Structure 1
């Protein structure tokens, strides 16, 4: 992909990359430094879209820093994903702590991760089903370790 060539999207690659992800205030939320790098298959939606696009233009050994707006990362915070229910209807509600991540059963019978926002003993409990990093601008320091053809035949 030297010289600004466009990658061939009909061919998939196994990508291995080191990264450090941080919020706008500089707080690091995840890093592969000191551990094994991240490996994923291009085009399989295994990483956020902006991350994948940034890595597509890199050569092995190259390093760069990218800033991802929410739309290119975990999306904007959607107020429609806030859910209120009477606290009295929640078993063991006294164990809930604002900020805590828990699983709740949705209408289709599947468990979904949610964050507890507010618990009122004599009122309502507010849950947020947005991804915890929705609405955040993220910065990634990237280093492409390798990009190898992927046939899908590996175990």
Structure 2
């Protein structure tokens, strides 16, 4: 039976969870995800984790906090409320899009509010969290 090696293209189904069991993403009930192992298209921990698996095999892969989506403290900053998009009623937990200097959109999350400023977090929502993936290797393509 063939085993997954670097450079193979595989199809997987997955359920991504946080340490408390909260599901943040899944392919269950939908199409499988096709990835090239070692191609840098998906989280490195997943690509490494499927190495050596065979079709039909199931595995739980744990990605330590910071290894999946590292937390960058420089992506948290104070922002003048008067510069927020018109009509935005700033509240903790709210998300909206801003644009970087190069024109690329970035989703920001409000993590603090006071009279004059809001504290914005531009980190990935899963940054700094331990991620648990239940993987089923559907096939080696």
TM-score range, shorter chain: 0.7 to 0.9
* Consecutive unaligned residues in structure 1, runs of 5 or more: 149-155
Q: Which has the larger radius of gyration?
A: 1
**Are 1:22 and 1:29, in contact at CA under 8 Å, matched by a contact in 2?**
yes
Residue 13 of structure 2, aligned match among 3, 14, 18: 18
Unpaired stretches in structure 2, ≥5 consecutive residues: none
Q: TM-score scaled by structure 2?
A: 0.87
Tell me how far 1:6 sits from its aligned partner: 8.8
Equivalent residue pairs, number? 141
Query: Is the Cα–Cα contact under 8 Å of residues 66 and 129 in structure 2 kept in the other structure?
Result: no
1:47 Cα deviation after fit: 1.1
**Aligned mates of 2:35, 2:90 — CA distance in 1:** 35
1:138 matched to 2:131? The reply is: yes
Does residue 109 of structure 1 match 2:97? no
How far the C-alpha of 1:93 sits from its partner, in A, is 5.7
Greater fraction helix: 1
TM-score with structure 1 length normalisation? 0.80
CA deviations over 1:1-58 (Å, ceiling 9, x no partner): 87xx893x4xx32210011111101111111222111112223322111111101221
